Amino acid sequence: MSATIISEESAESVELVDQPSIWSRLIRHPSVVIGGVLIALIVSLVPAAPLITTLDPTDISPRNRNKPPGFETVHRDDEGTKYTVVAHMGTDKLGRDVYSRVIHGAKVSLIVGVSVALISISIGLFTGMLAGYFRLIDAVVMRVMDGLMAIPSILLAIALVSLSGASLLTVIIAIVIPEIPRVVRLVRSIVLTIREEPYVEAAISVGTPTWKILLRHVLPNTIAPLIVQGTFICGSAILLEAILSFLGVGVPPEIPTWGNIMAQGRDLFQIYPHSIFYPGIFLTLTVLAINMLGDGLRDTIDPRMSKEI
Q: Does 139 participate in binding other proteins (rule CB under 8 A)?
A: no
Q: Does 6 participate in binding other proteins (rule CB under 8 A)?
A: yes
Residues 18-47 that bind other proteins (CB under 8 A): 18-19
Q: Which of residues 54, 74, 83, 199 is near other proteins by CB under 8 A?
A: 199
**With contact defined as beta carbons under 8 Å apart, do 245 and 109 qualify?**
no
Closest-CA residue to 275 (of 110, 109, 93, 107)? 93
Q: What are phi and psi of 266, to 5 degrees?
A: -60, -45
E strand or H helix that includes residue 141: helix 135-149
Instruction: Give the per-residue contact string, 211-250, with other proteins (x = CB under 8 A; - = no).
Output: -x---xx--xx-----------------------------
Q: Which of residues 140, 201, 247, 281 is near other proteins by CB under 8 A?
A: 201
Q: Which is nearer to other proteins, 30 or 198 (CB)?
A: 198
Neighbour-count burial for 22-44, b at 16+ CB within 10 Å, e otherwise: eeebbeebebbeebbebbeebee
Q: Which of residues 23, 62, 198, 254 is near other proteins by CB under 8 A?
A: 198
Q: Which of residues 51, 163, 206, 309 is near other proteins by CB under 8 A?
A: 206
The secondary structure of 236-253, three-state, reads HHHHHHHHHHHHCCCCCC
- Least CB distance to other proteins at residue 142 (A): 18
E strand or H helix that includes residue 83: strand 82-87
Q: Which of residues 155, 204, 215, 247 is near other proteins by CB under 8 A?
A: 204
Q: Does 303 participate in binding other proteins (rule CB under 8 A)?
A: no
3-state secondary structure of 71: strand
Rounded to whole angstroms, the Cα distance separating 64 from 253 reads: 20
- Least CB distance to other proteins at residue 234 (A): 25
Q: What are phi and psi of 25, to 5 degrees?
A: -70, -35
Give, rounded to a whole angstrom, the gap between the first and last alpha carbons of the chain: 45
Q: Which of residues 207, 254, 271, 309 is near other proteins by CB under 8 A?
A: 207
Dihedral through CA 253, CA 258, CA 261, CA 262, nearest 10?
Answer: -120
Q: Which is nearer to other proteins, 19 or 270 (CB)?
A: 19
> Which of the stretches 120-128, 194-202, 242-250, 262-270 binds other proteins when contact is defined by CB under 8 A?
194-202
**With contact defined as beta carbons under 8 Å apart, do 69 and 89 qualify?**
yes
Q: Does 202 participate in binding other proteins (rule CB under 8 A)?
A: yes
Give start and end residues of each alpha helix (H) in 150-218.
153-164, 168-195, 198-205, 210-213
Q: Which is nearer to other proteins, 225 or 256 (CB)?
A: 225
Q: Does 308 participate in binding other proteins (rule CB under 8 A)?
A: no
> Which of the stretches 6-14, 75-83, 146-154, 234-242 binds other proteins when contact is defined by CB under 8 A?
6-14
Q: How many chain residues interact with other proteins (CB under 8 A)?
A: 32
Q: Does 192 participate in binding other proteins (rule CB under 8 A)?
A: no
Q: Which residues bind other proteins (CB under 8 A)?
A: 1, 3, 5-10, 13-19, 197-199, 201-209, 212, 216-217, 220-221
